Chain A
Amino acid sequence: MRITYFCCFTVLVLAASAILVSARPPAGGTITGKVTYTGTPVKMKPIDMSKEPVCAKEHNPPEKTETVVTGAGNSLEYVVVYLSAGDKPSAPPSQPVRYDQKGCMYVPHVLVMEANQPLQIYSDDPVAHNIHPMPKANSEWNKSQPPGAPPIDTKWEKPEFIAVKCNIHPWMHGYFAVLTTSHFAVTDADGNFTIKDVPPGKYTVTAWQESYGTQSQEVTVSAGAATANFSYKALPY
């Protein structure tokens, strides 16, 4: 009899703890790190916007090119770091991401989104732009957006890194990073990144820089913080 009670109790406790565990997401770990370079990267040059005086006026001193943006301690900005393997697939968020054209520059320079996540492209400029993304796996398109035009609503179906340009203003140059994971980060001005809420497990973490390409490493996340640092070999051209 006593054994029956004990068994029932144990089953109940086990069931309750199972419900608790499944209701709460597993304790999230983080992956932090820094992306740096060795060697001599291409120099960031001031952009000459004299052909569009309205935009030139907004940037004093002039903006610099953003193909390789370096910071203190050989750090690299605008590097996308994401889980490329090991992550469970999830439905894309319905929350749209926003891409801006401000003073004839793309803000942010690199915009990360998930495949099939809504994307809205705004222009705040008093001059016309054309938005010309150049994907390979998805379909290329090219649309005009004169001053006062409504935002362009779109999305990308397949994951890839898509270069974006404006043909009217050849210095305008940015990227859409379309991923199939919700765990990603973009390095800040000091090259640091933090990927939050990563469930414990083994992952491949990949870093992507528009000029230097991708690098991957295996990372094991348990509760707490895991570290993944990346270093690119920079060439002066």
Chain B
Amino acid sequence: MKKNVITSLILWTFCLVVALPGVAFAQDEGAHVNGFTGNAQSGKELYRRFCVGCHGDEGNGEGNNAEWLDPRPRDFTTALFRWRSTPTGTLPTDEDLYNTVTRGIVGTLMPTWRPLTPQQRVDLVAYIKTFSPKWITQKAGTPITVPAEPAETIEGVLHGRELFDKMQCWKCHGPDGRGDGPSAPTLTDDKNLPIRPYNFHDGTRFRCGETNQDLYKIFMTGLDGTPMPSFADILQPNDAWDLVHFLRTLQPLVHSKSRELWLAYAGSHKDIKPIGAE
């Protein structure tokens, strides 16, 4: 009898010490976006219906369709994600993943998943996070702050242009932003597959979104798993905004005040130093 009491005591202690924190952990692994809580089990069913063809059974980006796709589907097992609001080397937030699923990725075979309900998309995020143990051992990074955008001025655009030259963005993106810089042909991604720098000249939208805030985040967080580094340690917020405004001048297909200002300036100044000149 006494032995039984002791055994049950030991069992209860075990439950309290080991099992309870385990339950708390399991809850933490879910996903939380806009008041929705993701359920990985429901997410798994959706994944097997909509995502498995490209991203694969094991979430490693090796689905049946993968070998015909360029760029390749994301490998969730490495937990490396390009479009984040968090610093380079950190995990993205649930919202970042939710936004990517919602938005889709322009110029790739990843469509928008707006046809799914917000709850379903959060469920998918919760399931995607089960593919890598990094989601248990690490926390998502702290999102960078994007300060209020200053007014677009020609001084800002010219300073941004100077930065584009000095930071040597043109080595990959090309002097005119056509993605044809001297290093462009040698670039590879984290799977050692060739990857193209963004062509501002032909592009209207970015893969991470289309606003100036989205553009700001690209070079302040870096696109992890690609050659695009983070400039957060080097650029001050004002520098970064100037660079955003300059990048807008490289996009003839997108209307922007910065481009108007630049065209007027370039029309009346014939001695502008070309980018990348010694």
Contact = CB atoms under 8 A, between A and B. Distances in A.
B89 A139 contact: yes
Given A139-B90, A168-B183, A169-B183, A144 B224 contact: no
A130 B223 CA distance: 12
Interface stretch (B31-39, B68-76, B163-171, B244-252): B163-171
Interface residues of B, number: 29
B194 to A, nearest CB: 12
A142 B168 contact: no
Interface residues of A, number: 23
A128 B181 CA distance: 14
Nearest to B195: A167
Among B172, B227, B229, which residue has the most Cβ atoms of chain A within 10 A?
Answer: B229
B227 A140 contact: no
A64 interface: no
- Interface of A, secondary structure class, is loop
Nearest to B224: A140
A142 B171 contact: no
Contacts of A152: 233
B187 A144 contact: no
A18 B27 CA distance: 54
B89 A167 contact: no
B222 interface: yes
A6 interface: no
A167 B224 contact: no
A163 B232 CA distance: 23
B227 A146 contact: no
B80 A142 contact: no
Contacts of B80: 140
A150 B234 CA distance: 8
Interface in B206-249: 222-234
A139 B224 CA distance: 10
Contacts of A146: 166-168, 234
A128 B168 contact: yes
B224 to A, nearest CB: 6
13 contacts: A51-B183, A139-B90, A139-B138, A140-B225, A141-B224, A142-B222, A142-B226, A142-B229, A143-B229, A146-B234, A152-B233, A167-B172, A167-B229
Interface of B: 80, 88-90, 134, 138, 166-168, 171-172, 182-183, 186-187, 190, 222-234
